[in-house]
Amino acid sequence: MSSSGRADEKEWEGSHGEELEQIEIELLLEGVHRFYGYDFRNYALPSLRRRIWHHAHAEGVQTISALLEKVLHDRACFERLIYNLSIPITEMFRDPQLFLTFRQKVVPMLRTYPYIRIWHAGCSTGEEVYSMAILLHEEGLYEKSRIYATDMNARSLQQAKEGVFDIKRMKQYTKNYLEAGGTRSFSEYYTAKYNSVIFQPFLKKNMVFAEHNLATDGSFNEFNVIFCRNVMIYFNDELRDHVHGLFHESLSHFGILVLGSKESIHFTSYSDSYETLDRAEKIYRKIK
Ligand SMILES: C[S@@+](CC[C@H](N)C(=O)[O-])C[C@H]1O[C@@H](n2cnc3c(N)ncnc32)[C@H](O)[C@@H]1O
């Protein structure tokens, strides 16, 4: 073949390669949705694409079509895919300034309520939920609170229920706790065992853990506060709007919505339904 023939072939492969990849990704997501009921079709494409390829290589397959076949015929491979697509990265008192602002601006409002219901949507392995339980305990509010911790990833949720974390992370978590306004010795809240720590059982007393998928499941209660941080950054605009609809429906009047540091209620269909309580920390209050 002449060199111009090879160049033509490369160009053809390049443009058709992208088109083919797009088709294969759509077929994978369609297959996963139809067979397992998990809907990733409205996740933002660039990061989804990267994670699908990462998973394909980890499974030892060369194409996304081959991955689809493996995922459909091997449930364990599907479960590993869910784990890889879910990015279960989190930490205790993540963005400590947010927890400090929450203590200063939201806790005084919560004191006036007879009963407090908080939903952590996309709670991952639970670090955010234990942080909230500690904060409410220190503010004397935990007894009248119930914390609902949900995630689509059953494996992460199981870790959250156990409340066992890597001891190596405690140095960072102690620093976060103090920056978040904690006044005690952080080690009061856990017992070390080998390379892990287990958090005090009383912290779990008012926690409820449940599988819930923001893309496909509906509202299940009315809440005074909803935390959903670093979850919707992986969604496209359509899915993000859908989830904001779910949160709006699930919040009581004057309910508080807390988003992640890179997120905002602005530029969603619900921006007029909230007032900003703290712009920097992404804390909003439902007003209509
Ligand atoms: C990066 S972690 C964020 C954890 C925690 N909120 C934080 O900010 O540290 C994202 C979590 O969102 C969950 N997630 C992603 N898509 C979801 C969906 N459709 N429904 C429920 N949870 C979802 C993932 O399983 C993962 O545990």
> Could you tell me the pLDDT band of residue 15, with boundaries at 50, 70 and 90?
low
Which atom of ligand 1 approaches the CA of 228 most closely? 6
User: If you take atom 15 of ligand 1, which residue's CA is the nearest one?
Assistant: 86
213 lines ligand 1 (CB under 6 A): yes
110 or 267: which leads in pLDDT: 110
Q: State the fold for domain 96-286.
A: Rossmann fold (3.40.50)
> Could you tell me the pLDDT band of residue 12, with boundaries at 50, 70 and 90?
low
Q: How many contiguous H segments (helices) and E segments (strands) does the chain have?
A: 10, 10
Which atom of ligand 1 approaches the CA of 90 most closely? 9
250 lines ligand 1 (CB under 6 A): no
Question: Does the pLDDT of residue 4 top 70, yes or no?
Answer: no
Which atom of ligand 1 approaches the CA of 153 most closely? 25
pLDDT in tens, 46-93: 999 999 999 999 999 999 999 999 999 999 999 999 999 999 999 999
Cβ(62)–Cβ(56) under 8 Å?
A: yes
> How far is the C-alpha of 244 from the C-alpha of 242, rounded, in Å?
5
CA atoms within 13 A on the CB side of 281: 23
At 16 the pLDDT is 75
pLDDT in tens, 216-245: 999 999 999 999 999 999 999 999 999 999
At 7 the pLDDT is 65
Ligand 1: residue of 33, 84, 86, 130 to mutate (most ligand atoms within 8 A of CB) is 86
Domain boundaries, the chain: 3-86, 96-286
pLDDT in tens, 124-139: 999 999 999 999 999 9
> Could you tell me the pLDDT band of residue 205, with boundaries at 50, 70 and 90?
very high
User: If you take atom 9 of ligand 1, which residue's CA is the nearest one?
Assistant: 90
Residue 70: which region, alpha, beta or left (left: phi > 0; alpha: psi -120 to 50)? alpha
Cα distances from 251 to residues 132, 199, 223, 246, in angstroms, run 18, 29, 5, 9
List all residues 6 or more positions away from 171 whose beta carbon is below 8 Å from its beta carbon.
none
132 lines ligand 1 (CB under 6 A): no
User: If you take atom 11 of ligand 1, which residue's CA is the nearest one?
Assistant: 122
> How far is the C-alpha of 73 from the C-alpha of 230, rounded, in Å?
31
Which atom of ligand 1 approaches the CA of 156 most closely? 27
